[in-house]
């Protein structure tokens, strides 16, 4: 079940099963055809992705930045 996409065409999915949502696995499919399962939850996946502690395999690197809008 998809829960997010990247602007580069990657998909972030839940691999569902008979167990409830607390037991679902995050699955990542890259635009390059690579895919893998992440054992943590979605929030931990995003935190690891942004912090740089996640091995990216086929995903592009993330370079987070903080920008102020409307400030002169």
Whole-angstrom distance, CA of residue 60 vs CA of residue 39: 20
pLDDT of 58: 57
Which among 67, 46, 65, 60 has a CA at the least distance from the CA of 7? 60
Which residues contact residue 31 at a Cβ distance below 8 angstroms, ignoring those fewer than 6 apart? 8, 9, 10, 58
Encoded tokens for 71: 């400030």
pLDDT tens digit at each of 72 positions of the chain: 999 888 888 889 998 888 888 888 899 888 888 888 888 888 888 888 888 787 766 565 556 565 666 665
Residue 2 has a pLDDT of 92
pLDDT at 65: 60
What pLDDT shows up at residue 62? 56
């Amino acid at each position: 079940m998809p829960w997010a996409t990247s602007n580069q065409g990657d998909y972030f999915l839940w691999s569902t099963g008979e167990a409830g949502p607390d037991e679902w696995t995050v699955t990542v499919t890259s635009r390059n055809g690579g895919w893998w399962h992440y054992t943590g939850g979605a929030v931990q996946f995003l935190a690891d992705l942004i912090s740089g502690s996640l091995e990216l395999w086929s995903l592009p690197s993330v370079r987070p930045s903080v920008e102020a809008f409307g400030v002169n």
